[in-house]
Structure 1
Amino acid sequence: MKGLVGRVSMILLVLTIIFGVYSFVLEPEFITVRYLKLSSDKGLKVLFFSDLHMSNFYSFHERLIKKIEELNPDYIVFGGDALKPNTNFDDLERFFTALCDIAPVYAVTGNWDYNKLDRVIAMYESSGVHYLNGDTVKLKGKKGYINLVGLPLNKKYSTPAKDNIVLVSHYPHAVARYYGPDPIISISGHTHGGQFYIPVLSDILLKKEYPILKGEGKFGSYRVFVSNGTGSWFHLRFLSPPQLVVLDF
């Protein structure tokens, strides 16, 4: 009996170590790509990501930039939360400057950006990023265009645009504060895809706070997509790897 208990304890210890290495070391360093085909008549590719949460620039961010460059987007859209406690702003500027060398970059406010928003906006300006706060910009493709609407963090907002509308916000539920013509899609982040995601259980436990925790779904009548983001807290991820989203129009 003692031998059996010892073997079971050893197996549990090994499984715990494997789980820890995977969740704290491996998955947070993965870079996955999700493709959304939204139309085929505009000749336009937009790359979306969110929740960078950078402390310091390191090899993961170098690989992230390289992967975005390989995907060759016409435009890059960032869904907010660039910051983490003790963010190195020089490193953050280095990252976004590199993105602006790939394609025009647009960004909205995240909740972690809010308390240092003046510094974040100044960093965006130095990097070449276009900051959107209740603004609508036309992104032109080879055969058409979309109207990108950057929703404010905590305010209601409409848009002067009449068609081809794509909403971008940090909070998934910000779409409930939008009033205007129906969008093609609303894209957001904030949830980290649960970060530590247990299928079914995470969706049930977090349903009240996050009706859509990750991926594609409906918020009222609107089509929405919630990204896993790319950064994390405690360098921990499980079944919600860092994610880039490619939207083809």
Structure 2
Amino acid sequence: MPNGLKILAFSDVHGRIDAVEKFVNDVKRRKVEFDLVVIAGDIGNPQKPKVFIEILKKISELRKPVFFVRGNWDVNFSWEDLDNVYDLDKVSPVYIKEYAVIGHGRNARPYTTGRNRVILITHYPPYGILDKGRKLEAPQNTLHSGLVEINYLVDFYNPIVHIFGHSHSFGGVEFYFNGVMYVNVARLDRVTKSGSHIGNYCIINIEGDKARVNWFYLNGIWKNCSNCRRRVHLPANWRICRRCSRKRELKKEKIPGFYRSIKVKIQKINIDKSIEDLALVNVEIPIQTIKDNVVLHDFVDIILWKTTWKILQKYHVIVVKIPKEKIIETYGKRNDGIVIPFSEYLFSCDGKLYGEKLCALMKLYSLDKRVHVFWGIDNSNNERKIEREYVFFAKKLLEKIDDEAIDRLIKEGFTPLVFEKIFQKD
């Protein structure tokens, strides 16, 4: 492959040096051919500072250039310069043959690459692509562990391949979408209940603007997937390949083109219920990275509240968004020893029992989950205090609630902020 590139890729080691030793031995035993090694983050363990560099030293025994990005586990580690081992946040872009290898670990600002074809490496997935998993893995405490910032990087570079990890549930799966091969290489440290290593890694073969992915598992064997019948490498006790096991999550839908650019009007409802214009902003959505309409609407919601958060920073020293899962804890009354279903808060909230402020909010949440609460905080005289509490929601909700609901929000000290999306259809 004189003009192509072969990448040995993996991620999510979490400081398991034993898994790395198994991996290096497996690669040597198979006599796998590759040009470089890519590690998509979570190499070390914060509780074991020395293991980060020990793992990189072990990987360097493969005698090929090693490129890595740092993940959320890669903090509190000791560092020393190693030959042929590179932090992509410090050296990107790296030009190899006709390709630009680019990594974004901590740095989210795009690089200039010229006309080279791009191979993108991040730790986090793009939002909505191979990123579903446990809430513990998700920065927003949702079922998506991807970051919207990564979608914008993919949209900027339009890479041939995007290599990432972090979302363990979708590790070992590749997904071709809108010209990009997305490859989730998590996780190398996977073990069975009996302690047997079954972590995955892959070889990504790139020729021109085409990519092909071959998966391998520690202690794996070749077999036919019982679903798609492809010849694949799997752990001995698995019958179905990872792609088939996640098939339902790989659906694609056409996204309307007019979502790429949205004009958003944000308005404030005053105490006298007059409506005051707060901002008119243009929002760009990287629709080429959005695979279905459910993801689209969640993505737009994230961008809208992030935009509003930035606008409110003009008026307050500190702006805090209250997570949805903390709303009841923040505004509700203590009811020790009583189990209260969430549906009761939503649909029959009694202000005397549960708190008037909470019930004022629950009226909105019962109509739309995409309601957000912000605190504007003053930090003068080294004493923090809440200056204003905002509740942010779609203006169309005003058609579904009565004046009494708005009066209640204002009475309880909230400043309602409403937004309206204006589309420029093709």
TM range (shorter): 0.5 to 0.7
Kept in 2: contact 1:214–1:227 (CA 8 A): yes
What SS class does the counterpart of residue 77 from structure 1 fall into?
Answer: strand
Kept in 2: contact 1:54–1:84 (CA 8 A): yes
Counterpart check, 1:112 vs 2:73: yes
Counterpart check, 1:245 vs 2:202: yes
- Alignment counterpart, residue 87 of structure 2, candidates 125, 128, 131: 131
Partner deviation per Cα, 1:132-152 (whole Å, 9 max, x = no partner): 117210123xxxx32111023
- Shift, 1:217, TM fit: 2.1
Kept in 2: contact 1:162–1:181 (CA 8 A): no
1:127, 1:111 → 2: CA distance? 24
Q: 1:245 to 1:168 in 2, by over 3 A?
A: same
Counterpart check, 1:170 vs 2:123: yes
Letter in 2 for 1:216: E
Kept in 1: contact 2:124–2:166 (CA 8 A): yes
2:89, 2:159 → 1: CA distance? 17
Structure 2: tracts of 5 or more residues without a match: 127-146, 207-426
- Alignment counterpart, residue 175 of structure 2, candidates 201, 217, 231: 217
Greater Rg over alpha carbons, structure: 2
1:159, 1:97 → 2: CA distance? 31
Q: Tell me the matched-pair count.
A: 177
What SS class does the counterpart of residue 80 from structure 1 fall into?
Answer: coil
Kept in 2: contact 1:218–1:224 (CA 8 A): yes
1:77, 1:137 → 2: CA distance? 12
In structure 1, what is the equivalent of residue 325 of structure 2? none
- Shift, 1:85, TM fit: 4.5
- Shift, 1:94, TM fit: 3.4
Partner deviation per Cα, 1:129-180 (whole Å, 9 max, x = no partner): 100117210123xxxx321110234624243232321101001115313153
In structure 1, what is the equivalent of residue 22 of structure 2? 63
What SS class does the counterpart of residue 150 from structure 1 fall into?
Answer: strand
Matches within 5 A, 1:132-171: 132-133=88-89, 135-140=92-97, 145-153=98-106, 155-171=108-124
- Alignment counterpart, residue 230 of structure 1, candidates 188, 196, 208: 188
1:235, 1:221 → 2: CA distance? 35
- Shift, 1:67, TM fit: 2.1
2:192, 2:103 → 1: CA distance? 29
- Shift, 1:213, TM fit: 6.4
- Shift, 1:63, TM fit: 2.0
2:68, 2:32 → 1: CA distance? 19
Q: Normalising to structure 2: TM-score of the pair? A: 0.37
- Alignment counterpart, residue 186 of structure 1, candidates 152, 162, 170: 162
Q: 1:157 to 1:52 in 2, by over 3 A?
A: same
Percent sequence identity over aligned pairs: 23
Partner deviation per Cα, 1:191-218 (whole Å, 9 max, x = no partner): 12x1xxxxxxxxxxxxxxxxx6651225
Matches within 5 A, 1:13-32: none
Letter in 2 for 1:84: N
Deviates more, 1:80-89 or 1:167-176: 80-89
In structure 1, what is the equivalent of residue 262 of structure 2? none
What SS class does the counterpart of residue 14 from structure 2 fall into?
Answer: coil
In structure 1, what is the equivalent of residue 359 of structure 2? none
What SS class does the counterpart of residue 25 from structure 2 fall into?
Answer: helix
1:154, 1:92 → 2: CA distance? 20
1:163, 1:126 → 2: CA distance? 27
In structure 2, what is the equivalent of residue 99 of structure 1? 59
Q: 1:221 to 1:73 in 2, by over 3 A?
A: closer
Counterpart check, 1:45 vs 2:1: no
Structure 1: tracts of 5 or more residues without a match: 1-39, 195-211
2:11, 2:101 → 1: CA distance? 16
1:154, 1:236 → 2: CA distance? 37
Q: 1:222 to 1:68 in 2, by over 3 A?
A: same
Q: Normalising to structure 1: TM-score of the pair? A: 0.60
